[in-house]
Each structure stands twice: as C-alpha cells, then as structure tokens.
Copies of this chain bind each other. A is one copy, B any other.
Amino acid sequence: MKSTKLKSGNYLEDFLIGQVIHHPTPRTITAGERALYTSLYPSRHALYSSDEFARNCGLKESPIQDLIVFHVIFGKTVPEISLNAVANLGYAQGRFYQPVYCGDTINAISEVIGLKENSNRKTGIVWVKTSGYNQNGKLILEYIRWVMVRKKHPDSLISENLIPKITPSVDPKSLHLAGDWNFSNYDFDQAGEPYRLHDYKPGEIIDHIDGITIEETEHILATRLWQNTARVHFDNTVRGDSKRLIYGGHLISMAKALSFNGLANAQSIVGINNGSHTNPCFAGDTIRAWSEVEYIYDFQKNGIGAIKLRTFITKGEIEKAFDDNQKYDRNLLLDFSYWALIPT
C-alpha cells in the first residue's frame, strides 16, 4: 500500500503572490556548529574566533558566524522553494539585523514577492523574501532570492505575473547596527592586520593568495550541516555525469574566510548586495579568491565603518572575472557583493 504522504516540492503553479510559507525544522545553533565551521573553512577573523575579542567589541561573546546564519536559513527554504529549481538565479537586499549566539534557535519564513512564467512555458521564476527569526521572534536576517523552477504542466496558467523591483545594492544608511557593537577599543594586533576603513580605497583589488583544493566530503558535510536537502549536492546519480554540484553557499564561506588575508578587519557581514554562482563547482577544483573594494561608509558611531566588497572565486586565473566578450570567464565560480563591518 503506497503512501500518499510524500512532498515533492512546489512547482511554479504552486506559488501565489503574497503567499507566506513557514518553513519547518527550527534549529538551535551551538558550539558544535561553530567548530565545524572552522574545520570546513579557513576562518581566521578574530571576532568569530575569540570570546574575549568579541567582548572587547561590545558583544556578550563570540557570535555564530554570520554565514552559518545565512546557510541555515537558506537551507530551511530549499524544500518549499527550490526543490524543483532549475537554477538559483540570485540574491539581493540582504541585511543582518543582530548577532546570533550559541543556544539561539532559528526559524525561517518566506513570502512570495514575484512570479514570471518563461516564454517556453515549461519553467518560470519565483522571487521570495526570506526572513530568519530567533526564539524571541526577533528578526535576524532578511534577503531576497529568485530561482528558476519547473512548471508541472506547460499548459497550466499561473496566478499572476509580477516582477518585483530589486535594489541592486543595499544602501549603507539602511544597514542595521545592533546597539552593542563598539570598535573603539578594537585590538588590531590580535585581529592580525593594521588596516582601518579609510585605509581602503574604492577600486583597490586584493588578491587573497591561498588556493584550496575542494574535496567531496567537505562540501557534503557542510551542506548537510545546514540541513539543505537539494538532491544535486548529495546524490551523484542526479546530474548524469556522476558529479555532485557544490552548494553555492560553500563558496561564499570559502571566499569570506580566504579574505582574511588583506581584509582581516572586515569582520561581520551586515549586508548582501547581490550574488551570482557564475559556473558550477565540483570536488577536485582548486579555488582562489580576490576582492575589489567598492565603497566605504563611516557610521560615525562607536568607531564602526562598513566596507562594500565584491569578492570573486575562480578555479582559473586570478583576477580574471570576464572573458574577451565581457561575459563571465568560464572558470569564474562566484561574484558576490557584500557589506562588512570594519573599524574606522
């Protein structure tokens, strides 16, 4: 007797503008996830390594790495949003609202804010605004992403076509600075580099030097840790080439960790402007990262600034983002723009 209980994920027809989805499986984050993160990524930013350093920056202890918060919330959305995705098209308007600490429990909610059927009538695009909350119901992260998903039937009609207005970049004035951050007594020796906000200039390009050869087990352990269930990461029979696609967020974490070399004081991600996974990444690839400074902003408060960075990962030539036709180079894997807090 075959069960009828299985969920096979949502198709384009299943989404409605304004629909609110409460994602299951709340998650309590602990010291275990923190340590695993350090084991998975070459993470050396002092704020996420030392309770003492974090206290000296006004926090109660070293917070959960901001990208753990992102990955866990993103992972929660996969079963309802992107299980039938053809491609993860982009992120935008990401803002972190407050630090998450060991013992906090994360929930995620998504609202459908855009829908568009593609002209082939077989697929379409869904835009969602996803919000993460802690156990006290406080907002901790909000971002928009859009994915191309399959339709169940080419002939079916979708409820409404609406392309939402996406801001290409987060206005630094809108970045949320929880009241307790304070870089007045920031210890540059412990952090590892002497550079402050105003030591960086827009247009400056920083090669993060180190290369990392990615192994199969690493990205599987990581992706599973975030309870991300997309089959293409775990089952090598899905794609047809016996390869498991590496979760794009794995590369974002690699990029942020590698950026220590040159950006040791760009501690916390507070905004996500946009991000593209420009080519697929597989085990065996040796990746390198570089960043371009896009903007600097001084909050004029507690010695805190924000630096806007565009970080790239390549498995080919460093600092080559585009080919001769000004398209993404075929070896480029990530183009990610974010805001990070940095002492002034």
Q: Which residues does A use to contact B, with CB under 8 Å?
A: 1-3, 5-8, 22, 24-28, 30-36, 38-44, 46, 49-53, 62, 79, 102-103, 105, 107, 135, 189-193, 195, 199, 201, 203-207, 209-213, 215-218, 220-222, 224-225, 227, 229, 231, 234-238, 244, 261-262, 264, 286
CB distance from A111 to the nearest CB of B (A): 16
CB distance from A319 to the nearest CB of B (A): 9
Q: Are B2 and A205 in contact (CB under 8 A)?
A: yes
A25/B1 contact (C-beta < 8 A), A32-B32, A33-B32, A41-B224 known: no
Q: Are B190 and A24 in contact (CB under 8 A)?
A: yes
CB distance from A224 to the nearest CB of B (A): 6
Q: Are A51 and B28 in contact (CB under 8 A)?
A: yes
The distance in angstroms between the C-alpha atoms of A189 and B195, with both chains bound, is: 48
CB distance from A218 to the nearest CB of B (A): 6
Q: Are B24 and A189 in contact (CB under 8 A)?
A: yes
The distance in angstroms between the C-alpha atoms of A34 and B103, with both chains bound, is: 13
Q: Are B262 and A3 in contact (CB under 8 A)?
A: yes
Known: A32-B34, A212-B235. 20 other contacts (CB 8 A): A2-B204, A2-B207, A6-B206, A6-B209, A8-B209, A24-B193, A25-B50, A26-B52, A26-B190, A30-B31, A30-B35, A31-B32, A41-B224, A44-B227, A44-B229, A211-B235, A213-B234, A215-B216, A215-B217, A237-B286
A38/B213 contact (C-beta < 8 A), A25-B46, A286-B235 known: no
The distance in angstroms between the C-alpha atoms of A22 and B72, with both chains bound, is: 35
- The 9 A-B pairs at the shortest CB distance, nearest first, are namely A32-B35, A24-B192, A211-B235, A30-B31, A26-B50, A217-B217, A3-B206, A39-B225, A213-B236
Tell me which residues across on chain B come within 8 A of A286, comparing CB atoms.
Answer: 235-237
Tell me which residues across on chain B come within 8 A of A46, comparing CB atoms.
Answer: 24-26
CB distance from A109 to the nearest CB of B (A): 11
The distance in angstroms between the C-alpha atoms of A33 and B39, with both chains bound, is: 9
Q: Are A210 and B224 in contact (CB under 8 A)?
A: no
Q: Are B30 and A207 in contact (CB under 8 A)?
A: no
User: What are 10 inter-chain pairs, A to B, with CB distance below 8 A?
Assistant: A1-B204, A3-B206, A5-B206, A8-B209, A26-B46, A30-B35, A32-B34, A38-B224, A212-B235, A217-B217
Tell me which residues across on chain B come within 8 A of A209, comparing CB atoms.
Answer: 6, 8
Q: Are A207 and B3 in contact (CB under 8 A)?
A: yes
Tell me which residues across on chain B come within 8 A of A53, comparing CB atoms.
Answer: 26
Tell me which residues across on chain B come within 8 A of A43, comparing CB atoms.
Answer: 227
Tell me which residues across on chain B come within 8 A of A38, comparing CB atoms.
Answer: 224-225, 227
Partner of A35, one of B2, B33, B135, B212: B33
CB distance from A13 to the nearest CB of B (A): 21
Tell me which residues across on chain B come within 8 A of A36, comparing CB atoms.
Answer: 32, 35-36, 39
Name which residue of chain B comes closest to A22, CB basis.
B189
Q: Are B224 and A261 in contact (CB under 8 A)?
A: no
